[in-house]
Structure 1
Amino acid sequence: MAGICQDCMTGHVLPGEPKGTTSNVDGAYFTSAPASAPTSEQQNEAEVGRKTALVLLTDMFGLALSNPRILADRFAERLGCDVYVPDLFEGHPPIDADQLQPYTPDVPNTHYSLWNRLTYYLLWIPKLPSLWANRPSVGRAKAEQFIQDLKDKKGYTDIGVIGYCYGGGIAVGLATKKGFVNVLVACHPGPITESEFPHVLTPLAMFCSQEDPWVTPPKRARAEAALAKLDTVETKVETLPGTVHGFAARPNLGIPQVRDAFERTFEECVQWIQARIHRHE
């Protein structure tokens, strides 16, 4: 079952206003490549006729928060490609936007209050049906179908995927599907299946928080060890010190170490995707 922890419901709203559009058909958010992006005439010969997109998979707030839309706009600008954010929860995310609260501290090695703990559990219990309905296997199936539709119906030939929290766990699973997408990134992934790591077949980067109930230090070490044994695919695991789960999606920008980790991770995601999204075996 898809689970939530105190950190999954904790965070802050990113500044800014989304610039893209939301489809009235499937609820997906779309932001286009900037007008300054290279045209087919400016591309090198090997890239002419290819069409690129990035798919951003959200946390449990889905599109209820503006954060994934703002991130999508930033990626479109930096990568020069179209970016889509599918509505994996079909308008009914497990966590409502007004439930975004500081249930846990924004930095590691601190403790949350008994009142925050009690409030969290009172909110969590009624969400059990929604969590079951949106378990990772269901989310992955929806993500796969969305990506396949981008290929079949919209003609995209090069696709990258970046996932945060819940979406990060889905991204790890998609990495085992050879040739489905070009490159993947998982930021502080939520529920992950460790048995998938030895079977990763697509370039995968994981950006982890120092303190995380989903990817604990022992689990992270086992993931790194499994990925290090792969000699036919590029992988990367990086831990950002001074961070907790959610720092790349819902950061407290008022804390310097969190803001720096957020910006550094964004830049490294851009570099990882940019270097691999047009690569063809």
Structure 2
Amino acid sequence: MEITALEFQRFQTFLKVASGISLADNKQYLVNNRLRPLLNEIGVDELDDLLSLIEAMPDDNLTMKVVEAMTTNETFWFRDSLHFHALEQKVVTELGEKGRISLWSAACSTGQEAFSLSLSIDKALRLINKRPTVQIVATDISEKNIDQAKQGVYTDIQLSRGLPNETKIDHFKGVRGGWQIADKHRSRVSFKSLNLINDFSDVGEFDVVFCRNVLIYFSMSTKIDILNRIAQRMKQGAYLFLSSSEQVPAEVKGLQIVRDSGCKYYRKR
């Protein structure tokens, strides 16, 4: 599929309006690679044909398929392991004194991050012999991802991406189609679809927020807006983890950087 400059600009505008995602000018190759299977599926040849189809017959399902194709990324268990080390060694130790710990996985993909949080907290609480109630809200823009995450079932290949074998043995059971995480962890996590550019004032208030590898899709102004609204959903003293390559812009107020054993995260003052 050959994409003209005008076609690409039209697609950039569509994607920005539909999802808030700002697609860089040098990403034409990504559009080509990600959308080709979808174009084949719906029987059109060119990007313009796809956009004209959406405009002529607005279809939320087709729009979501386009957004999902453009945001699908590899996901891993315990990705950026230093974050989970900090969660286990410092954050949970402190929060363990509370009767309830609330967490938000703000871009949970197919659930690996949310369940990694549950597994890490489980491990840390056993070490300090505390048993607070743990509640995790996990959101993602993709309804397809959320549907899979709710099942909690993963293939051997998916489990091989970062999950220790002993964790698989202790916390998963073999089912048709793969391995299902234990009910204890599934019951802790509430999955729902959410686009971060939309209002999320009713998502809850949290002690810990993981918002990793998603803000890179947005313009700086949108990123600042999202982070300011995330800060409003954080309790006093709560923790925010971004990906290791990201940082909170100066325009976002009330979050103080914490550097600990090679790990960087933020705390609400």
Q: TM-score range by the shorter chain?
A: 0.3 to 0.5
TM-score of the superposition, structure 1-length normalised?
A: 0.33
Of Structure 1 and Structure 2, which has the larger fraction of its residues in strand? Answer: 2
Higher relative contact order (CA 8 A, sep 6+): 1
> If you compute each CA radius of gyration, which structure gives the higher value, 1 or 2?
2
